[in-house]
Amino acid sequence: HADRDRASGSRMRRNRLGRPRGRWSMRNGGRSAIRPERPRGYRTRVSPRHVPSSVTELARVGLFAELPGEILGKLADRMRREEVASGTVVIREGEPGDRFYVLLSGVAGVSQTSIGDRRILRAGEFFGEVALAMHISRTATVTAMTPCVVASCDATTFDELVRPFFADDGEPGSG
């Protein structure tokens, strides 16, 4: 198997099935580690517009822990997963409330103009339910303090799948 890569002319290593494994690095006379083949322009990090949340991620959230798998699956399909950079305002006090959020990872700060910093949100906590449940504008600003991952759903999904949790619970979050 002394095949050569057409583009670079370097020798190809093959696995035990005879498939190309990677390209020998020509640094150090070919003695260095194998570099995996990647097409030119290949990007390892992709930011699609809509990435659904996973059932596993949502099952770790206390609010959804007791949900049956079928409903949790529906919720996961409808929730949009987003990476949020540190310092980014996720929701702003006074703006219309159109989404409910769950913090999947990271730390976010909650503040209100009248009283300043109010509390810290950690992974597994939620926010934005006050505006949706009461049909009012946002009651607080939530800002990512570290890089965060949030999952959010629209008002229709909130009303159908999430709102029933707040009928018995007297502990609303922020927003």
pTM of the model: 0.64
The pLDDT, as a whole number, for residue 38 is 46
pLDDT in tens, 87-127: 999 999 999 999 999 999 999 999 998 887 789 999 989 99
Q: How far apart are CA 60 and CA 104, in angstroms?
A: 9
Could you tell me which of 61, 62, 140, 139 has the C-alpha nearest to residue 108?
140
Q: How far apart are CA 108 and CA 128, in angstroms?
A: 13
The pLDDT, as a whole number, for residue 114 is 86
Could you tell me which of 138, 163, 151, 140 has the C-alpha nearest to residue 58?
151
Residue 106, sorted as left (phi over 0), alpha (psi -120 to 50) or beta, turns out to be left
pLDDT in tens, 13-64: 666 666 666 544 444 444 444 444 444 444 434 444 445 567 777 877 888 8
